[in-house]
Amino acid sequence: MKIYTGTGDRGKTSLFSGERISKSSPRLEAYGDLDELNSVIGAVVAAMDEDQPALKGEIMAIQALLLEAGAWLATTPGAASTRFLKPFTKDPAEMLEIAIDRMNAPLPELKHFILPGGHLSASLAHMARTVCRRTERRVIELAEHEDGDSGPTDTLTHILVFLNRLSDYLFVLARYCNHIQGQGDVPWQG
């Protein structure tokens, strides 16, 4: 099977729901950034020590949720193909809140700004956090572009809340990665 099709050579691509759209559309920008986020999170997992299987499993579950969110973003609201998608609810954001509280518990209280850095896994988690914030902005832009005054769909709202919590999760994960490696946060000396 060939990996290239040539169908995108003129700047268009197909959505999961079948429509062909410009590769510069807000919808494609949103799920493209989501894909980039998932890739950076994969690098976080790769940089972690093997003695953290539960945490790595948790992060990989988050990656699966990002794929589910991406499928929703790659589908026009109301399209018949939405029936094939797993519902995206508030549960993933709530799961992240529990994980944030668990990882944050052993960490020292923050009394100053910190620089992204420390262990490689922490540095990559900080990078993922910034990509997550950009992705959130792109999804907001998509919601504003498509929904106008009616507001985003429930699914899109749940995805936005999930991304907002995910950026918090990634910040705490960065600190936690430094903690389990015996490194402190890198304080800002401003």
Q: Sorting pLDDT into bands at 50, 70 and 90, what band is 27?
A: confident
Q: What is the CA radius of gyration of the chain?
A: 18
Q: Does the pLDDT value for residue 8 go beyond 70?
A: no
Q: What is the mean pLDDT of residues 183-188?
A: 90
CATH topology of domain 22-73+85-187: Hypothetical Protein Ta1238; Chain: A; (1.20.1200)
Strands 20-22 and 12-14: antiparallel
State pTM to two decimals: 0.90
Residue 149's pLDDT is what? 53
Please report, rounded to a whole number, the percentage of residues in the chain having pLDDT higher than 70: 88
pLDDT per position as a tens digit, 59-88: 999 999 999 999 999 988 878 888 899 999
CA–CA distance, 98 with 2 (Å, rounded to integer): 43
Torsion of CA 32, 38, 39, 45, to 10 degrees: 170
Q: Sorting pLDDT into bands at 50, 70 and 90, what band is 190?
A: confident
**Which phi and psi (to 5°) does residue 114 adopt?**
-120, 155
Burial 8-35 (b: 16+ CB within 10 A, else e): eeeeebebbbeeebeeebbbbbbbbbbe
Instruction: Encode 92-109 in three state secondary structure.
Output: HHHHHHHHHHHHHCCCCC
Q: Where are the domains of the chain?
A: 22-73+85-187
CA–CA distance, 43 with 31 (Å, rounded to integer): 19
Q: What is the 3-state composition of the chain as percent helix, strand, coil, each rounded to the nearest 5? A: 65, 5, 30
| Residue of 126, 138, 104, 119 whose CA lies nearest to 41 | 126
Q: Sorting pLDDT into bands at 50, 70 and 90, what band is 7?
A: low
**Which phi and psi (to 5°) does residue 21 adopt?**
-135, 165
pLDDT per position as a tens digit, 119-164: 999 999 999 999 999 999 999 998 887 765 556 788 999 999 999 9
Q: What is the mean pLDDT of residues 85-112?
A: 96
